[in-house]
Amino acid sequence: MSDSRFAAIVIAGLCLVVLGLSAFTVNERELAIKLQVGEVVQTDYEPGLHWKIPIFQTVRKFPKRIMTIEDERPERIFTAERLALQVDFFVKWRIVDSVQYYTSTGGVQQVADGRLSEIIKNAIVTEFGQRSVSEAISVERAELMRDMLETAKSAAQGLGVELIDVRVKQVEFPDDVRNSVYRQMREERARVAAERRAQGGEIAEQLRSTADRERTIILAEAYRDSQKLRGEGDARAAEIYADAYNRDPEFYAFYRSIDAYRNSIGQSGDLLVLDPKNDFFRYLNNKNGAR
């Protein structure tokens, strides 16, 4: 092989190497920045083929997708009641400013994860510390996570990232305080139950007292009305008897005697020991009722 041909092959190979070192690609799932001697000289690359100066310029690529941070060890925090809780959380985030992200974290995702975890932990401590246990785990759970996200977002902006969501996966009492907390909860429930029973007993006693009073009033009014009606009936009966006697005294006496016979003799097993000539039998002994 001649020297000129060999030189041409070497030159062509060097050109291919330089070309290979100068070209780089960016896909839809990546963000890229170009560095020249450690200084950012270009950002916001569109997906496709791009060029750089070999050796003097380098390219750093970062994921464009949404990433997740999951807390490996539940955090121990304290509520407004000074009760300890173990909070397990996860975070969704993404890079929005590649230059600021590179400047603040060196482009290392582990560094970004660590700093974001600390930001979220501080937000959790702040928000849980302003709420009681019941507010943190039930009543204001949605509001709590919203406030945590808002608190952490402002701190995360300095990293060139955007926090998309912060979620509390699990909230538990630590082993060293769980039994005491459950005991306090049982005592509190027992106190509330005793208070409710006392209130119920008081209301029941009031209802019974009211019912007894109303019963007494109703019976007294009924007895009064019955006595009034009985008196009116007796007066009317006496009036009828007097009127009947005045119209026909003999018939009145006969009717009363017949009525007396019916009431005294008409029952089975009745026994009367009387003188046959007793005035009681005058209508039986004499059809005219003469004595």
pLDDT tens per residue across span 87-131: 888 888 888 888 888 888 888 888 888 888 888 888 888 877 777
| CA–CA gap between residue 80 and residue 129 (Å, rounded) | 5
Please state, for a pLDDT cut of 70, what percent of the chain lies above it.
Answer: 75
Q: Output the pLDDT for position 222.
A: 92
Between these two residues, 174 and 44, which has the higher pLDDT value? 44
Averaged pLDDT for residues 221-249: 84
- Amino acid making up residue 88: D
Instruction: For Cα atoms 249, 253, 254, give the angle at the middle one, nearest 5 degrees.
Output: 115
Averaged pLDDT for residues 42-54: 80
The model's pTM is 0.54
Residues comprising the chain, all counted:
291
Q: Output the pLDDT for position 25.
A: 81
Structure tokens at 269: 């097993």
Structure tokens at 137: 């785990």
Structure tokens at 247: 């119209």
Q: Output the pLDDT for position 197.
A: 92
* Res. 5: pLDDT tops 90: no
Q: Work out whether strand 67-70 and strand 57-63 pair parallel, antiparallel, or are unpaired.
A: unpaired
| CA–CA gap between residue 159 and residue 118 (Å, rounded) | 13
Looking up tokens 């690359």 gives: 45
pLDDT (tens digit per residue) in 262-287? 666 656 666 666 666 666 666 665 65
Ordered by start, the domain boundaries in the chain are 3-63, 67-172, 186-247, 252-291
CATH superfamily of the 67-172 domain: Band 7 domain (3.30.479.30)
Between these two residues, 202 and 176, which has the higher pLDDT value? 202
Between these two residues, 210 and 258, which has the higher pLDDT value? 210
Q: Output the pLDDT for position 166.
A: 83
Between these two residues, 258 and 152, which has the higher pLDDT value? 152
| CA–CA gap between residue 90 and residue 78 (Å, rounded) | 19
Q: Output the pLDDT for position 183.
A: 79
Residue 49, classed as helix, strand or coil, is strand
Q: Output the pLDDT for position 276.
A: 62
pLDDT (tens digit per residue) in 161-196? 888 888 877 777 776 666 776 777 788 889 999 999
| Start-end of H helices in the chain | 3-22, 98-105, 109-128, 133-134, 141-156, 175-247, 249-265, 282-285
**In which band, very low, low, confident or very high, does the pLDDT at 214 lie, cut at 50, 70 and 90?**
very high
Between these two residues, 11 and 59, which has the higher pLDDT value? 59
Averaged pLDDT for residues 255-259: 71
* Res. 20: pLDDT tops 70: no
* Res. 218: pLDDT tops 90: yes
Q: Output the pLDDT for position 277.
A: 63
For residue 33, how many other CB atoms are within 10 A of its CB? 20
| CA–CA gap between residue 11 and residue 183 (Å, rounded) | 84
Of 112, 123, 121, nearest to 149 (Cα)?
123
* Res. 223: pLDDT tops 80: yes
Q: Output the pLDDT for position 6.
A: 62
The winner for highest mean pLDDT among 48-62, 139-153, 240-254 is 48-62
Between these two residues, 154 and 221, which has the higher pLDDT value? 221
**In which band, very low, low, confident or very high, does the pLDDT at 221 lie, cut at 50, 70 and 90?**
very high
